[in-house]
Amino acid sequence: MTRRYLMCRPTYFAVDYVINPWMDPSTPVDVDRAIAQWTTLADTYRRLGHTVELIEPIPGLPDMVFAANGATVIDGTVLGSQFRYPERTEEGPAYLNWFARNGFVTQEAKSTNEGEGDLLLTERYLLAGTGFRTDLDAHSQAQELFGRPVITLQLVDPRFYHLDTALTVLGGPAGVAYLPQAFSAGSRKVLRQLFPDAIIAREEDAAVLGLNAVSDGHRVVLPVQARGLAAQLTERGYQPVGVDLSELRKAGGGPKCCTLEVRD
């Protein structure tokens, strides 16, 4: 199934502050390498038959490359983002304005809500993460706006500060892949009930943001370093497509972070 994605070139990418455990301003960042890796990701989507649209990067917003955090789009309706940290505040209006200019119905976030970082759509549910970034009130707003049943999941490991770093929506036979220890005990029970056939990821794959992946139901674009997860996907009938985003990982991002799905 072909998908439509919104992405933002990492023209102004940098690690100048710390808002997650992956970030270390003392570690050099190679912007040209980040751009090259991002370009390969975008080209990979196009090669797989997907549509890639671009939002213009804004100087002073180094994390704007992580488009997934910019909004949530379901059935042509857009729920905007409101960021936890002031360093990213201006990204929310930038993304919402892009959608408004392009004819989408939009609604501003009423509380902290970091887009598809914490709101992941499955066939039946909208999985909603909380614990580090997105507030519970945002889950209620999403349910009212989209009319989809929302399942709240509590994140407990600061390395996996967004839901999309601890869980991948795959579609197909497994439904999802996730790292159990990234979730509270109650949330693990919920995931086991909802997705009894899920792929259970290993710590070493999650540690390279292997779960920050993008699936079209069969092809799964994930960090090339997540070799164990790629093998698990193959065993279950999926086609893993590895990409190297190691430069962007210095800010805590992988393929999914760079990719906002636009569902018309």
Token pair belonging to 80: 């905007």
Query: How far is CA 93 from each of CA 98, 101, 160, rounded to the nearest angstrom?
Result: 8, 12, 25
12 contacts: CB under 8 Å, gap ≥ 6: 57, 58, 59, 60, 61, 62, 64
Q: Contact 51/5 with Cβ under 8 angstroms?
A: yes
- Catalytic annotation present for 257: yes
Q: Which of 8, 139, 162, 258 is catalytic?
A: 162
Q: Is 244 exposed, middle or buried (0-12, 13-18, 19+ CB in 10 A)?
A: middle
Is 139 one of the catalytic residues?
no
Q: Which of 8, 50, 139, 257 is catalytic?
A: 257
Catalytic residues: 162, 257
